[in-house]
Structure formats: C-alpha cells, structure tokens
Structure 1
C-alpha cells in the first residue's frame, strides 16, 4: 500500500502497541487534484488504544499505511489545507475527521461531497465510510474544538449503543452493565441510557475512578472491579469497553443465565487476556460504523443528523465541567500521552487534546 502520511509521525509497533517511535519524511510535491493538510488539533483517549489493539483485526492500520511492521495511529480532530491543487479546496479551509497522528496528510484526489469530502484512496476502500468522510468547519474557539475532538465520535458510539439496545428491547434486561465506566464512550452510553430510563445503568470502574464516575450522575450504581460479585442477578446486558477477558469472565460467571446479551465495544485494558470459556451468551462485537450505516439507512441522512445533533446538544452541558482538559503541544508530548493511555495511567476525569502545529 502507498504511504500517504508525510512530515513527522508517531509509529506503533504492530503486535506490541505500547512500543512507539517517531520518524520524519519530507513533504511531498502536491500533484494535480491533490490536497496537503496540516493536522492541527486532535484528541487522545482510551478509544485510540482500542484502535491500536484492534488494528489488525478491524483494519485500523489500513487507513494510514506505515512502514513494514509499524502502524500509524488514527485520531479524531481538525486539519487545515496548507497546499491545494484541487479547485474545491483553498489554503486555510478547515475540516473535522479521522487523521493520522502526524503533522501532515496528503490526500490524493479527494472526492468533494456536500459539506466536505471523502478520501477515496485505494487503500481505504472496503473500510467503513464514516471514517473516510471529512466535514468542512468554520474555525471556532479552541475549547469548542477540543470537546468535538474528544467526544463527537465517542458520543456517537454511545448513542448508537443505546439506540441498538432500545431497538432490541434491551434483550429483556432490567439493567445494563458498562465496564470501563469512566471512559468517554461509556460516559456517552450511560448518559443516553439514563435519559431513556428503561433500565438501570450499572458502572464498573477502578477504585481510583469511582468518585469521578459517580459524579457524572448517569449511573444508577457504580461498583469497583473487585465488587463484581455483588452485581444483582437479574436480567442483564453487559457492554464491555475494557477488553479485559478476566473481568468479562467474572461478570458472566456472576450473572449466569440472567445475562441476556454480552457486547464487546472497546479494549482499554488490552493487555488483560484469558482463554477460559465463558458461560452464558457468546460476546458479540459491537462495531459502531456498521450500526451507524444501518441507522442512517433507516432514518435517512437528515433524520440521523437531526436526532443525533439534538442528543449531542443535551450531552455537552452535562460533561463540559466534569473534565480536566489538558492541551499538549507537539508529537513528543502526544507520544508520551499515548503511552500513558496504553498503560492505564490516565484517569477518567482527564481529557487530552494535542495541538500539533
């Protein structure tokens, strides 16, 4: 696959995602129809660790091909045109979307679309469209862009989880249990579940993150991981954001036949494995892009944008003052932050935004 990422970038060792390096490549000649972007403001969350942990399985390394044995981490945020040989793009145009953790990205022959463009590079074919679409935006206050970078994609996943469960009648459950409950995607799912009010929402988290998770006001109860044995044995759904096989085993054993559905969403505890067979329902992957595309087909693009936009507008005030947003500068700081995230050293109340220029 042709590499499209230029400038300075962070590389992750495929198969050993805590091992990182950086390299630098000269900026390219921009060919006819191509656009060169500088990547400005991005977020780093536990979700990015999931991208790395599932890079082989779900194709995340394919978005921005790197050298042999290395992966370029996808991140959400904002980029700006610095050179264009495509008539629809002017220097200074700003876009929100899915970027590499790098200083620049060359997009070859972007396909203009209403409100933005699609990266139609051959190596991105067959990947979820939601990752290949970029939205044109007007420059805004740094704090507003930070919240978008941190939460918009994760909020969407949380909203889709609630929508999926509602469509399934919550599988007959009385409670939905979320692991890694302080993670931003779990926060979004809990917010939407609690507003709907059909089930109790139980959060599982570390002792260090318990107080923060309780402060969110979205969970009926918050338990620490060593309190799994106190879960009520009533019809339940388990939504796993942690990817911790031992924890999933404990939840399945505790709930037994009361567990009606088990979903895998994230891998924030990617290093915690296990091979023991699980009692109860087989965990199934919740792949948000596929669910999003099915939901758009059902509601229509305008309907989907309307309902999720209204939900987002309610969510932002609920979390704006709950997070300690830290703005870092440069790839060196981004690399350190990623390593801390991969090692589980960053608490749920922390929110990391990186300005790369």
Structure 2
C-alpha cells in the first residue's frame, strides 16, 4: 500500500499494541489533485485502544498504511489544508473526520461529497464509508472543537446501540447492562437508553470510576466488577465495551437463561481474556459503521441527521461539566497518553485532547 502519512508519526507495533515509537517521514512531492492536510486537534479515548486491538481483525490498520510491521493509529478530530493542488481545496480549509496520529496526511484521491469530501484512495476501498467522509467546518472555539473530537463518533455509536435495541424491542429485556460504564461510548449509550426509558440501565465499572459513573445520572444502578454476582437475574441485554472475556464469562454465568442478547462493542480491556465456554447466547459483534449504513438507509440521510443531531444537542449539556478536559501538545505527549489508555490508567472523568500545531 502507498503511504499517505507524513511528518512526525506515532507507530504501534502490530500484534503488540502497547509497544509504540515515533518516526519522521519527509513531506512528499505533490501532484495534480493532491491535498496535504496538517492534523490540528484530535481526541484520544479508550475507543482508540479498540482500533488498535482490532486493527488486524476489522481493518483499522488499512486506513493509514505505515512501515512494515507498524500501524498508524486512527483518531477523530480536525485537520486543515496546508498545501493544495486541487481547485476545490484552499489553504486554511478545515475538516472534521478520521485522521492519523501524525502531523500530516496526504489525500491523493479526494472526491467531492455534500458538505465535504471522501478519501477514495485504493487502500481505503471496501472500508466503511463513515470513516472515509470528511466534513467541511468553520473554525470554532477550542473547547467546542474538543467536545466534537471527543464525543461525536462515540456518541453516534451510543445512539446506534439504543436505536438497534429499540428496534429489537430490547430482546424482551428489563435491564441493559453496560461494561466499562465510564467510557465515553458507554456514557452515550446510557444517556440515550435512559432518555428512552424502556429498560433499567445498569453500569459495570471499576471501583475507582464508580462515583464518576453514578454522578452521570444516566444509570439506574452502578456495580463494580467484583459485584457482578449481585446482578439481578431478570431478562437482560449485556453490552460489552471492555473486550474482557473473563468479565463476560462472569456476566453470562450470573445471568444464565435470563440473558437474552450479548453484544461486543469495544476492547478497552484488550489484554484480559479467557477461553471457558460461555453460558447463554453467543456474543455478537456490534459494528457501528455497518449499523449506521442500515439506519441511514431506513431513515434517509436527512432523517438520520435530524435524529442524531437532536439527540446530540441534549447530550452535550449533560456531560460538558462532568469531564476534566486535558489539552496536550505534540506527538510525544500523545504517545504517552495512548500508552496510559492502553494500560487502563486513565479514569472515566478524564478527556484527552491533543493539539498537533
């Protein structure tokens, strides 16, 4: 695959995602139609650890090809045109979307799309459109961009989880149990589930994150991981944001036939596992891009935008004051923060934004 990521880059060893390094690739020569972006402001969350953990399985390493044996981490946020050989792009144009954890991205095959463009590079063909679309935006205040970078894609996943469960009548469940309940995607799912009000929303989290999770106001009850054996045995759905096989085993064993559906969304606890047989329904992968495409087809693009946009306006005030947003500067700081996330050393109240200017 042709490399498209230049400048200073953070590299992750494929197959050993806690092992990182940095290098520098000289900025490329540009041809007709090429656009060079500087990555400006991005977020780092537990979701990025999922991208790395599932890099091989779900194709996340294909978006931004790196050197042999290395992966370049995808992140959400804002980039800006710094050099353009395409008439549709001017220096200073700003876009929201899916960027590499690096200082520069070269787009050779930009295809105009409503409100922005698509990166149609050959190595990105067959990957979910939602990752290949970039939205043109006007510059805003840093704290406003920070919330978008931190929550927009994760909120969408949380909204889709609720919409999926609503469409399935919650599989007949009376409670939906979310692991990694302090994670931002789980926060978004719990918020939407609680607004709909059809089921009890139960959070599983660490003892360190319990008070923060309870203070969110979206969970009916919050349990720590060592309290799984006290979960009520009643019709339930389990949504796993942790990717922790041992925890999933405990939940399945506790609930038994009362568990009606089990979904895997994330891998925040990527290093923990187990291989014992699971009682109850086999866990199924909830892959948000695929669900999003089906939901857009059902609601239409305008209906989808209206529904998610309205929910987003309700969500932002609910979480804005409950997070401690930390702004880091430069790739060295980003690398350190990523390692802490991969090691599970970042608390739920933390929200990390990185400025790469």
Scaled to the shorter chain, the TM-score interval is over 0.9
C-alpha displacement of 1:181: 0.1
Indicate whether 1:333 and 2:333 are aligned: yes
RMSD of aligned alpha carbons: 0.3
C-alpha displacement of 1:114: 1.0
Q: Which residue of 1 aligns with 2:84?
A: 84
Q: Which residue of 1 aligns with 2:272?
A: 272
Q: Which runs of 4+ in 1 moved over 6 A?
A: none
C-alpha displacement of 1:109: 2.5
Q: Which residue of 1 aligns with 2:287?
A: 287
SS at match of 2:182: coil
C-alpha displacement of 1:206: 0.1
Q: Which residue of 2 aligns with 1:75?
A: 75
Alignment of 1:224-263 (within 5 A): 224-263=224-263
1:185-243 deviations in Å (ceiling 9; x for gaps):
00000000000000000000000000000000000000000000000000000000000
The separation in 2 between residues aligned to 1:28 and 1:3, in whole angstroms, is 10
Q: Which residue of 1 aligns with 2:212?
A: 212
The answer (yes or no) to whether the contact 1:239–1:265 under 8 Å persists in 2 is yes
SS at match of 2:337: helix
C-alpha displacement of 1:290: 0.2
Alignment of 1:118-197 (within 5 A): 118-197=118-197
The answer (yes or no) to whether the contact 1:86–1:109 under 8 Å persists in 2 is no
The separation in 2 between residues aligned to 1:203 and 1:52, in whole angstroms, is 25
SS at match of 2:294: helix
Give the TM-score taking structure 2 as reference length.
1.00
C-alpha displacement of 1:29: 1.4
SS at match of 2:266: coil
1:228-268 deviations in Å (ceiling 9; x for gaps):
00000000000000000000000000000000000000000
The separation in 1 between residues aligned to 2:97 and 2:132, in whole angstroms, is 8
Give the TM-score taking structure 1 as reference length.
1.00
Q: Which residue of 1 aligns with 2:101?
A: 101
The answer (yes or no) to whether the contact 1:175–1:202 under 8 Å persists in 2 is yes
SS at match of 1:239: strand
The separation in 1 between residues aligned to 2:338 and 2:306, in whole angstroms, is 34
Alignment of 1:29-48 (within 5 A): 29-48=29-48
The answer (yes or no) to whether the contact 1:10–1:20 under 8 Å persists in 2 is yes
Give unpaired runs (5+ residues) of structure 1: none
C-alpha displacement of 1:144: 0.2
1:84-131 deviations in Å (ceiling 9; x for gaps):
010000000000000000000000020011100000000000000000
The answer (yes or no) to whether the contact 1:159–1:188 under 8 Å persists in 2 is yes
SS at match of 2:103: strand
Indicate whether 1:112 and 2:84 are aligned: no
The separation in 2 between residues aligned to 1:14 and 1:275, in whole angstroms, is 23
C-alpha displacement of 1:30: 1.6
1:143-165 deviations in Å (ceiling 9; x for gaps):
00000000000000000000000
The separation in 1 between residues aligned to 2:129 and 2:23, in whole angstroms, is 29
Q: Which residue of 2 aligns with 1:27?
A: 27
SS at match of 2:42: strand
SS at match of 1:17: coil
The answer (yes or no) to whether the contact 1:98–1:132 under 8 Å persists in 2 is yes
SS at match of 2:19: strand
Give unpaired runs (5+ residues) of structure 2: none
The separation in 2 between residues aligned to 1:280 and 1:272, in whole angstroms, is 21
Q: Which residue of 2 aligns with 1:319?
A: 319
The separation in 2 between residues aligned to 1:107 and 1:275, in whole angstroms, is 42
C-alpha displacement of 1:25: 0.8
SS at match of 2:37: strand
C-alpha displacement of 1:273: 1.0
- For these two proteins, the number of residue pairs brought into alignment is 357
The separation in 1 between residues aligned to 2:345 and 2:281, in whole angstroms, is 32
